[in-house]
Amino acid sequence: MPLVKKYLQDLAIFGNPPAFPEPLHVGRPNIGNREQFLELIDDVLDRKWLTNNGKYVREFEKAIAAITGAKHCIAVSNGTMGLELAAKAAEIKGEAIVPSFTFIATAHALQWLGITPVFADIDPETHAIDPEAVESLITPNTTAIIGVHIWGESCPVEALADVARRHGLTLIFDAAHAFACSHQGQPIGRFGEAEVFSFHATKFINSLEGGAITTDNDELARKIRLMKNFGFAGYDRVVSTGTNGKMNEISAAMGLTSLACLDEWIEINYRHYRQYRQELAGSIGIRLYPFDERERRNYQYIILEIDETASKISRDRLLEVLQAENILARRYFYPGCHKMEPYRSSGQTWHLPQTERLASRVISLPTGTALQSEDISQICQIIRLAASFEF
């Protein structure tokens, strides 16, 4: 580990060697027990059953249903496919209200199905979709609300459910960030009509690529199961429209291997979160996104907000300083979905002041099993140093 930098002039942005010889990425995958994974792969290859509702996919679905408490879990090829299948099976049409402050997949999944995403603003404290903003955007064409449990912190489930109920709308949650998290003591996975998880490589639990839809609704689950397999209800019998949304056996094997480490990884992420909090405490103009520790959280995202008016450094300058040190932080979710295509050129004028303000302030920092405590100390030292000088 290189020497901790003591002086601003030592920063790599001034031409010095970076603090980290190898890049420290946001989103480095958590990898479980290699031997166990390789054994499962061997078994998959020996049994010559690679996909189409195989043994490990069924085990993975069972495990997720048990963790979330949901009646049904349908494993799928990725989270985006999960959102598409859930929206299609729930017969969402016309317009669906979503936050703009989310990964582009939340909006794209709808747009892909010919549903128009309508972007609602967020609560600047929680970063979650604002139910009042949602209600103000409802039109006769609105059929659904898609809440997002951003960073794994649950969004205002009850308030959204209330709006949905009063206006007869379908409520679905994008829970891509929120596996193994809770809301009011209940595991995320049973709220709304359905919840959709991502098990992408960068997620807390990964299956290389993958996702899952959980629901207590028998009919919805039945439709999603059919639709993810081309609408097949048996050999040569297609009973609905469909697509190929199946998870394969190697992905399920990786998912099961990851699940075996769930508690250990939460512990590691939680430790990292507390260390960041402690080491960045008192840094003027810098806010670490606070998780509600009374709830179960996976602490997979370490989110900083840089208030340029109070801090001496801008968010983008800090990002440059970190990148020069090989700390590859990210501006999630800049600039907001509404400023990306095709939504930017849709002709619609969006009034999303909180989204735009937040998107210009946020940095996501590395965490997860790839990081050691010394790495975090060094990252925090660089942030403190960079934020304390005008340059």
Cβ-contact 229, 246 below 8 angstroms: yes
Choice from 102, 215, 300, 355 touching ligand T4K (CB under 6 A): 102
Q: Which of 100, 154, 198, 207 binds ligand T4K (CB under 6 A)?
A: 198
Q: State the first-to-last Cα distance of the chain, in angstroms, to the nearest integer.
A: 27
Q: Tell me phi and psi for residue 187, to 5 degrees.
A: -60, 140
Does residue 252 contact residue 56 with C-beta atoms inside 8 Å?
A: yes
Q: Is 117 in the site for ligand T4K (CB under 6 A)?
A: no
Chosen residue from 28, 71, 331, 339 binding ligand T4K by CB under 6 A: 28
Note whether 103 binds ligand T4K by CB under 6 A: yes
Judged by beta carbon, residue 153 or residue 305, the one nearer ligand T4K is 153
Q: How far is the CB of 338 from ligand T4K (least distance, A)?
A: 15
Lay out the site mask for ligand T4K across 199-228 (x = CB under 6 A, - = otherwise). Answer: -xxx--------x-----------------
Among 73, 107, 148, 319, binds ligand T4K (CB under 6 A): 148
- Contact pattern for ligand T4K over residues 257 through 296, marking x by CB under 6 A: ----------------------------------------
The binder of ligand T4K chosen from 68, 80, 300, 311 (CB under 6 A): 80
CA-derived radius of gyration, the chain: 22
Q: Number of residues in contact with ligand T4K, rule: CB under 6 A?
A: 23
The Cα angle at residue 266 between residues 260 and 268, in degrees rounded to 5:
105
Question: Can you tell me the distance from the alpha carbon of 228 to that of 211, in angstroms, rounded to the nearest whole number?
Answer: 12
Nearer of residues 128 and 283 to ligand T4K, judged by Cβ: 128
Inter-residue contact 320 to 6 (CB < 8 Å): no
| Residue 106 within binding range of ligand T4K, rule CB under 6 A | yes
Q: Does 331 bind ligand T4K (CB under 6 A)?
A: no
State the minimum distance, in angstroms, from the CB of residue 78 to ligand T4K. Answer: 4
Selected binder of ligand T4K within 8, 10, 25, 126 (CB under 6 A): 25
Using the minimum distance from each CB to ligand T4K, give the nearer residue, 29 or 124.
29
Rounded to whole angstroms, how far apart are CA atoms 90 and 215?
A: 11
SS3 of 232-290: EEECCEECCCCCECCCCHHHHHHHHHHHCCHHHHHHHHHHHHHHHHHHHCCCCCEEECC
Q: Using CB under 6 A, which of the segments 24-32, 183-191, 230-238, 355-363 binds ligand T4K?
A: 24-32
- 329 belongs to the binding site for ligand T4K (CB under 6 A): no
Whole-angstrom Cα distance, residue 269 to residue 255?
Answer: 18
* DSSP letter, residue 72: E
Looking at residue 355, the DSSP 8-state letter turns out to be: H
> Which residue lies nearer to ligand T4K by CB, 10 or 316?
316
Residue 24's alpha-carbon distances to 29, 210, 213, 371, in angstroms, are 12, 24, 31, 8
Q: Which one, 78 or 143, has the nearer CB to ligand T4K? A: 78
Beta strands in 267-380 (DSSP E): 286-288, 302-306, 327-328, 362-365
How many CB atoms sit inside 10 A of residue 76's CB? 31
Phi, psi of 248 (to 5 degrees): -95, 170
Cα torsion angle, 16, 19, 20, 23, sign: negative
Residue whose Cβ sits closest to ligand T4K: 27
Cβ nearer to ligand T4K, comparing 106 with 355: 106
**Residue among 328, 339, 357, 384 that touches ligand T4K (CB under 6 A):** 328
Report the residue number, 329 or 376, with the smaller CB distance to ligand T4K: 329
From residue 240 to residue 259, the character string flagging contacts with ligand T4K as x (rule: CB under 6 A) and all else as - is --------------------
Nearer to ligand T4K, 189 or 211 (CB): 211
Residues of this chain that bind ligand T4K (CB under 6 A): 25-29, 78-80, 102-103, 105-106, 148, 174, 176-177, 198, 200-202, 211, 328, 332
